Amino acid sequence: MAVGKRYIVTKASDDGTFEIGDHVSTNAEGSINCREAQGWIDACNVVEASAGMVVEIDQEWIVQRKAKLREELAALETHNVFEEES
């Protein structure tokens, strides 16, 4: 998993920490957030807690992220901060 992306669990972890349908993401220090659990697993426990887990990128998150980026780009294009000097 890459930091900054959201994933959906498609196969639960062996110990049940992560369940099918959980939305998870990783942090720079190696911990994993879980939206459904409203918490995270510390980096030191990730190997054990995620053993057997399979994830795929959250397609809904991609759609939402693209829409947000398009809005930000449109806002930049309509607000010309640097006006040309005459």
Using alpha carbons, select from 68, 8, 2 the residue that is nearest to residue 36.
8
Burial of 71 (0-12, 13-18, 19+ CB in 10 A): exposed
| Cα–Cα distance for residue pair 20/60, rounded to 1 Å | 16
Instruction: Enter the pTM of the model.
Output: 0.78
pLDDT tens digits, 6-23: 999 999 999 999 999 999
Average pLDDT over residues 22-44: 96
Confidence grade of residue 78 (pLDDT, cut at 50, 70, 90)? confident
Would you say residue 83 has pLDDT above 70?
Answer: no
pLDDT tens digits, 38-67: 999 999 999 999 999 999 999 999 999 999
Residues 18 and 34: beta-carbon distance below 8 Å: yes
